[in-house]
Amino acid sequence: MFPQKRRTRLMAFAAAGSLLALTAACSSGSGDSDDQANDDGTPSGEITVLTWRTDLVEDGTFDTYVEEFKAKYPEVTDVKVEGLTDYEGEVKTRMNTENYGDVLAIPGSVTPDQLGDFFEPLGTQEEIGAEYQWINDKSFEGQSYGIPVVGNVQGFVYNKRVWEEAGITEFPDTPEAFLEALQAIKDNGVEIAPLYTNYKDGWPLSQWDGWLGAVSADPDWKNKIVESDTPWTEDSDYGVVDGLIYDAVAQGLTEADPTTTNWEESKRLLGTGEVATMVLGSWAIPQMAAAAEAAGASGDDIAYAPTPVKVDGKFHSVAGGDYNLGINVNSQNKATARAWIDWFNHESGFSESQAGLSPIIDGPVPAALTSFVEEVELITLNPAPEGKEALFADIDTASGIVTTDPKFRQKNIDDARSGARTKQQIFDDLNAQWAEGRASVS
Amino acid sequence: MTTAPSGLDDPTTAAAQKSDAARTPHKPRGGAGRGTAWYRRLTPYYFLLIPVGLLLLLTFVPVLNMFWYSATDWDGLDKTKNIVGFDNYVEVFTDPDNVRVFYVSLYYFVASFAQMAIALYFATILSFNTRFRNLWKGILFFPYLINGVAIGLIFLNFLKPGGGIDTILMAAGLESLIQQWTGDPDVANFSLAGVSVWRYMGLNFVMFLGAIQSINSQVYEASELDGANRWHQFRYIILPSIRPIIGLSLILAISGALSVFEVPFVMTGGANGTETFVIRTVWMAFNRNMVGLASAMAVVLLLIVLIVTWIQRRVIPDEEVDLT
């Protein structure tokens, strides 16, 4: 038995200790990764990589990557890969501490002017731009903070068999032709719907944003919109996209009950032809093909088509980076982190395995996209002019529309179904909100 | 605990004596009794240290932070937070989209009356001698034990077109009643409120049952002698006895109706006109990246719940029930 005094002192220690442990657990930064890279910059030691591809962590793909990386840089002791299901949300919260890995994909909610607070500059825009494409997004004041892991083209993924059975063999080249094609598929008898919105999961509705810029074939559309009070008109980028969604829903070309859609199931439905079309980036092709095979259908039925608008007799598609990898500004091992990014883009084979374009200039084009790339002119959006990098995001947030979020499209679909607002009323409302946002920002 | 130092002792001397006593371990324990009292009086506070520390760390600090955020324009990430005063609070009440969500709460509020009525009905029946009483109690309470997210998923499949409820209606020959349970904007909120009733009815039921069972059985016997039937017993014995519990349920219903989250969030994500106050708060913080405004909404919700509770304490005082 302890003497009284020692016992009480122990109690106090225990209490203080547990409090300390708690606070330490909440605030421990990168203190545990103090092993630095060698002075000469040779990658060594240990890094942590945060990824949104939990599927690739689970199926062991990342283990292979780590092994190969370690084989190339034998002094690297460990690469810890953390897969995060709610990537955007979790990383954003962790970015309030210093502990958000060494290499991570830059979350979409980081505005360009915040990049420097959280991420290490990788080089000037010119330096990085000489080697990689699509780096403008994550650059600010001439410095580049992120390099995309894979490039996507935008359009829609469809079931070739179903489209051909309905007699459509050519890519529709106007929004009207697109709607007619969907109608023909419906008349031909499609089990669920010619076009599936994935309304319930929400984020697939934001995939329609990939069409923006392809409609007008204008690499500056985004820079012009921040100067305009009416982004939603009959033939503007936003107007065509949101108008098309409205018309398709109003004409009954989408699933009957959008509130019960299911993303995982939708992949199977497209493969088996119960759904004919979904608007998604080209990244979706391998997933759809795999789901088709798993459902006993043919993966070859899954095909990709460009945005149904021709400008000067040509289809266009915006090519752009997927998530961009950046380096935590608080990282203790930046040399190794940088080596991981370069290795990942040059040697991992990730972009090809994802049926995407390589972020390296003149990099390989995957087989699934070769014919697409031949027929469609790819455009890369121009960066925002200096001093206006964050303007779009600021107006977007201030207006309350939040175009990066599917909510406003869900509302449009609700109204298209119930007829509560006409297309013109929706455009007017959105324009009014946008104008208000612009006014409050400037 | 031991005896407190006698009032005659100068406290400082007592403390000095005490620490001396503790420093010399040879001193017999009995002799230390008076001297260690100063320390011993502190003992309960040592025990409190951990729970209070945890409470401060995990509840009060975040809440204070929230108050602070609500006065800023923070986006959840920025290193600098600009103070905007009460602008966020003004926006909470002036943006029509923010006000509209209160209207959705009305569905849940009205549904909670149905919920209490059903719970009261079952509690009364099962307080009498019913066959398989415990089985029924278990069945009725069971939904409350299931995690809210799981319930959302269960009903997502149950209510989807061609799902469980449609199959049942079809088997019963009631095809005409089939709706798009979450797809039809006129029906969606009723469906979700119904799920909410299914989930929370068990809790109300157990609260009512507990209150009813605490009524002295002699009162029933006496009433039977006086010729009271079951309805009379309910109306004049049970209902007055459990009035405080009903009042409490009402408060829980109001604050519950305002803070509905899991079921609609899982089932519709707030789309199709089913957005509730908390769903909008979450959206505001994490999708629109306006943590300041979202914090203000959270503070407003907190205040509303506090006010409702205060009103309840005023209107339905916590009086002792007296049946005689």
- To test the contact with chain A by mutation, choose from B184, B289, B291, B293 the residue with the greatest count of A C-beta atoms within 10 A, namely B289
Return the residue of B nearest to A107 by Cα.
B77
Q: How many domains, chain B?
A: 2
Residue B322 lies in a domain: no
Residue B2 lies in a domain: no
B152 and B52 share one domain: no
Residue B229 lies in a domain: yes
Residue B4 lies in a domain: no
B146 and B211 share one domain: yes
% of residues, chain B, pLDDT over 90: 39
Return the residue of B nearest to A110 by Cα.
B77
Return the residue of B nearest to A395 by Cα.
B288
Task: For residue A301, give the DSSP letter.
Answer: G
Portion 412-441 of A in contact with B at CB < 8 A: 414, 417-418
Q: What are phi and psi of B216, to 5 degrees?
A: -60, 130
> Is A258 in contact with B183 (Cβ distance < 8 A)?
yes
CB atoms within 10 A of CB A266: 24
pLDDT of residue A273: 92
B91 and B64 share one domain: no
DSSP character string of A376-440:
EEEE-PPPPPTT-TTHHHHHHHHHT--TTSTHHHHHHHHHHHH-SS-HHHHHHHHHHHHHHHHHH
B78: closest CA of chain A, how far (Å): 7
Portion 285-314 of B in contact with A at CB < 8 A: 286-290
pLDDT in tens, B264-286: 999 998 888 899 999 999 999 88
B39 and B184 share one domain: no
pLDDT of residue A242: 94
> Is B22 in contact with A5 (Cβ distance < 8 A)?
yes
pLDDT of residue B21: 44
B32 and B108 share one domain: no
Residue B200 lies in a domain: yes
Residue B75 lies in a domain: no
- Do residues A221 and A281 make contact, with C-beta atoms less than 8 angstroms apart? no
What is the average pLDDT value for chain B, to the nearest integer? 84
Chains A, B: CB pairs < 8 Å:
111
β-strands A147-148, A324-327: how paired? Answer: antiparallel
Pick out chain A residues at pLDDT < 50: 1-38
Query: What are the beta bridge partners of residue A318?
Result: A379
B203 and B287 share one domain: yes
Contacts of B76 in chain A (CB under 8 A): 92-93, 96, 109
pLDDT of residue A408: 92
Out of A3, A95, A414, closest to residue B77 by CB: A95
Coil/strand/helix, residue A194 = strand
Out of B40, B183, B288, closest to residue A402 by CB: B288
Coil/strand/helix, residue A310 = strand
pLDDT of residue A423: 93
pLDDT of residue A182: 94
B106 and B236 share one domain: yes
Return the residue of A nearest to B282 by Cα.
A89
- Do residues A278 and A198 make contact, with C-beta atoms less than 8 angstroms apart? yes
Query: What are the beta bridge partners of residue A316?
Result: A377
Q: Is A8 on the interface with B (CB under 8 A)?
A: yes
d(CA A98, CA A117): 11
d(CA A441, CA A439): 6
Return the residue of B nearest to A8 by Cα.
B43
Which two tokens mark B240? 């007055």
pLDDT of residue B229: 87
Return the residue of A nearest to B271 by Cα.
A410
pLDDT of residue A271: 92
Residue B80 lies in a domain: no
Across the range B126-146, mean pLDDT stands at 89
pLDDT of residue B310: 86
Q: What angle do CA A132, A134, A137 make, to 5 degrees?
A: 125
β-strands A45-51, A76-83: how paired? Answer: parallel
Residue B194 predicted with pLDDT over 70 = yes
pLDDT of residue B324: 54
pLDDT of residue A362: 82
What does R_g of chain B's alpha carbons equal in angstroms?
A: 28
pLDDT of residue A80: 92
B185 and B39 share one domain: no
Q: How confident is the model at residue B208 (pLDDT cuts 50, 70, 90)?
A: very high
Contacts of B270 in chain A (CB under 8 A): 407
> Is A8 in contact with B39 (Cβ distance < 8 A)?
yes
Q: How confident is the model at residue B161 (pLDDT cuts 50, 70, 90)?
A: confident
Q: How confident is the model at residue B320 (pLDDT cuts 50, 70, 90)?
A: low
In the listed set B69, B97, B115, which residue is the last one of a domain according to the structure?
B69
pLDDT of residue A267: 92
d(CA A165, CA A167): 5
pLDDT of residue B179: 85
Q: How confident is the model at residue B323 (pLDDT cuts 50, 70, 90)?
A: low
d(CA A247, CA A255): 13
Q: Is B159 on the interface with A (CB under 8 A)?
A: yes
Q: Is A374 on the interface with B (CB under 8 A)?
A: no
Residue where the block lists tokens 């998604």: A280
pLDDT of residue A125: 85
Across the range B116-126, mean pLDDT stands at 92
Report the run of H or E that residue A88 belongs to, with start and end.
helix A87-94
| Residue B45: domain span | 11-69
Q: How confident is the model at residue B322 (pLDDT cuts 50, 70, 90)?
A: low
> Is A22 in contact with B57 (Cβ distance < 8 A)?
yes
Residue B245 lies in a domain: yes
Q: Is B22 on the interface with A (CB under 8 A)?
A: yes
In the listed set B41, B69, B97, which residue is the last one of a domain according to the structure?
B69
Q: Is A118 on the interface with B (CB under 8 A)?
A: yes
B310 and B200 share one domain: yes
Out of B76, B160, B283, closest to residue A260 by CB: B160
Structural domains present in chain A? 38-148+322-356 (3.40.190.10), 155-319+387-441 (3.40.190.10)
Q: Is A29 on the interface with B (CB under 8 A)?
A: no
Q: Is A114 on the interface with B (CB under 8 A)?
A: yes
B109: closest CA of chain A, how far (Å): 23
Give the CATH number for residue B207: 1.10.3720.10
> Is B77 in contact with A96 (Cβ distance < 8 A)?
yes
Task: For residue A199, give the DSSP letter.
Answer: T
A366: closest CA of chain B, how far (Å): 34
Query: What are the beta bridge partners of residue A320?
Result: A152
Out of A8, A19, A405, closest to residue B53 by CB: A19
B48 and B146 share one domain: no
B45 and B145 share one domain: no
For residues B37 and B94, which has the higher predicted lDDT (pLDDT)? B94
Contacts of A92 in chain B (CB under 8 A): 76-77, 286
pLDDT of residue A7: 43
B62 and B116 share one domain: no
> Is B43 in contact with A260 (Cβ distance < 8 A)?
no
> Is A5 in contact with B39 (Cβ distance < 8 A)?
yes
pTM of the complete model? 0.81
B259: closest CA of chain A, how far (Å): 20
